Amino acid sequence: MQSINNQTFKIISSIILVQGGILFFWFFTSENFIASLGFSSLTNASALAWCTAALVVVIYVWGAASISNVREHMFKFNKLKFLALTGALVSGVFEELVFRKLLMDYLQEEGFGNFIQIIISGLAFGLAHLVWGGKALSAAINATFYTFFLGAGLALVYIISDRNLALCIVAHTIVTGLIEPGLIKSALLDKLGYFKERT
């Protein structure tokens, strides 16, 4: 189990270094990086946007909690969990900037409607999580299928909140903070089957 903990630690650390490094670069090269995150206008988000974000979090975390390692580590505060919480914040900001702000705003500029933006954002987000299939095809399919719905849900939040990224970042960070490192451990232990935990 110690080797799984070490592998999980390395994976989360790598995510923080890569995504955090890119965020660091964007911070120093973009004039409106902080403003683009939307936190200054977060209080303007409608009750519907807040409720939708909360619903996305609850449904996704409830589904992920069917995996035993996720349940085991959800509220287990140790060194690995604190690293996972840092990773959750970094991923929350980075992935929402890429899959919601950059991608969806580009699609809007190209004339695509909200529904197509949501579907494409969800698909791109799901496909980006194919990397979870390092041990098995079933894990890759599982991760892609479920993260498609998370991505689409967060895309819906982005639309409902009048394209305020902050609410998406908050929801994404909460989800990742709760389900990791348990989800990574499950993938490393080859416990992720097709749409359910492998027994």
Per-residue pLDDT tens for 36-87?
999 999 989 999 999 999 999 999 999 999 999 999 999 999 999 999 999 9
Give the number of other CB atoms < 10 A from CB of residue 81.
17
The amino acid at residue 31 is E
Inter-residue contact 43 to 161 (CB < 8 Å): no
pLDDT the model gives residue 68? 94
pLDDT digits (tens, 9 = 90+) for 129-183: 988 766 678 888 888 999 999 999 999 999 999 999 999 999 999 999 999 999 9
Beta-carbon contacts of 21 under 8 Å, excluding residues fewer than 6 positions away, are none
∠ CA 52-169-146 to the nearest 5 degrees?
65
pLDDT the model gives residue 1? 63
pLDDT the model gives residue 50? 97
Where do runs of H (alpha helix) occur along the chain? 2-29, 33-37, 47-64, 68-73, 79-96, 103-109, 114-128, 137-160, 165-179, 182-188
First to last CA, the chain: 17
